[in-house]
């Protein structure tokens, strides 16, 4: 393959440093920054934050110009709404907890952006994600980044293998501190000192409840008071509407039971929230759907793996049983709070071998 790369530019330190490193390695770069959403609407006014705002788009353009390569601003708002925002709303309004970054990576960054790369004659796309790619037995696998605290493979599991074969992750072998140091050494002092945002990019102030209220036409009719119950169905009190809660939530429940209470189940159809103890969220068995595998035969031959059921959790040893696109994970030790709608990501030897969507 050639060395022409579509560099996904966010305006932040990671994508800018990725671009600089690739230039130093002799790649020919074409920059691209995408507009994916509008946060300012009649019913939801907030200062924009995140990776796809007007300010960050302009920063990305300026950084590309400073580094001497062409830059394109592309409008993916329709695709982003269809694949990411609409799913986010649908999941919450079904009593689930979505993972929008996973869908954004699969359908936007490695979907319509890959189409843009083809349009511009690029051999690869590159991003500032902290991940690596390994080729094993003719397959391309995601592999954990050198910086375990920044490893982002959890959010990348849904990327098709044929796209991984055309992907570069320049930062995969570095720690975040090393990246900041390299940026400072190359004169990008402001970027080196810039704070990171951990918020969902299209949700103002990281307040998903206000976002839902502003974007679900009949939200006031659907988000109404309902019953808190215990695991036996006994009524405990009233809650403020099921979309306000997520599995494992303890704070903001608005009920005093004389002991710590956690959300253990959400039934959107009956608008019922089940409360229980911390231990009620422990389980050894987790069901997943919509599974994808890099090499299914590898899993069938060796069903032992490590599984991460949330970004901030450590991978835990489990045995997987496959049933078409569904699977059941039997963990060696109980895991806490598997949440419908979140991702379960499967690892073997630090490589992502597959993933699925948590159902229970």
Catalytic residue positions, numbered: 104, 201
Do 250 and 262 form a contact (C-beta atoms < 8 A)?
yes
Three-class secondary structure of residue 74 per DSSP: strand
Only one residue has tokens 């490893």, namely 151
Which residues are CB-contacts of 314 (< 8 A; sequence separation ≥ 6)? 308
Which residues are CB-contacts of 236 (< 8 A; sequence separation ≥ 6)? 227, 228, 229, 230, 255, 257, 275
Only one residue has tokens 């008071």, namely 225
Of the candidates 277, 305, 271, the residue with the CA atom closest to the CA atom of residue 291: 305
**What secondary structure does DSSP assign to 123-165, as a single string?**
SEEE---S-EEEEETTEEEEE--S-TTT--GGGTTTS-HHHHT
Q: What is d(CA 259, CA 248) in angstroms, rounded to the nearest whole number? A: 15
């Amino acid at each position: 393959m050639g060395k022409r790369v579509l560099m996904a530019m966010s305006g932040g330190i990671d994508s800018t440093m990725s671009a600089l490193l690739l230039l130093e390695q002799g790649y020919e770069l074409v920059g691209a920054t995408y507009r994916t959403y509008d946060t300012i609407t009649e019913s939801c006014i907030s200062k924009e934050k995140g990776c796809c705002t007007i300010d960050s788009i302009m920063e990305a353009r300026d950084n590309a110009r400073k580094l001497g390569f062409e830059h394109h601003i592309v409008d993916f708002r329709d695709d982003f709404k269809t694949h990411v925002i609409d799913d986010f709303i649908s999941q919450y309004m079904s009593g689930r907890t979505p993972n929008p970054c996973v869908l954004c990576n699969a359908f936007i960054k490695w979907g319509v952006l890959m189409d843009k790369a083809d349009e511009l004659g690029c051999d690869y796309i590159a991003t500032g994600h902290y991940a690596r790619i390994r080729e094993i037995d003719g397959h391309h696998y995601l592999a954990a980044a050198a910086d375990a605290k920044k490893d982002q493979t959890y959010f990348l599991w849904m990327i098709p293998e044929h796209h991984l074969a055309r992907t570069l992750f320049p930062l995969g072998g570095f720690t975040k501190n090393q990246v900041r140091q390299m940026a400072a050494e190359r004169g990008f002092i402001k970027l080196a000192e810039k704070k990171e945002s951990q918020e969902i990019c299209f949700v103002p102030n990281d307040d998903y409840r206000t976002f839902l209220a502003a974007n679900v036409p009949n939200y006031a009719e659907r988000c109404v008071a309902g019953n808190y119950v215990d695991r036996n169905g006994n009524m405990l009190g009233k809650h403020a509407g099921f979309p306000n809660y997520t599995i494992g939530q303890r704070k903001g429940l608005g009920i005093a039971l004389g002991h710590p209470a956690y959300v253990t189940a959400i039934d959107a159809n009956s608008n019922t929230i089940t409360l229980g103890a911390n231990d009620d969220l422990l389980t050894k068995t987790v069901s997943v759907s919509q599974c994808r595998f890099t090499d299914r035969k590898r899993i069938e031959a060796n069903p032992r793996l490590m599984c991460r059921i949330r970004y901030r959790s450590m991978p835990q040893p489990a045995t997987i049983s496959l049933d078409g696109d569904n699977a059941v994970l039997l963990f060696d030790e109980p895991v806490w709070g598997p949440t419908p709608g979140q991702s379960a990501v499967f690892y073997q030897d630090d490589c992502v071998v597959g993933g699925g969507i948590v159902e229970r």
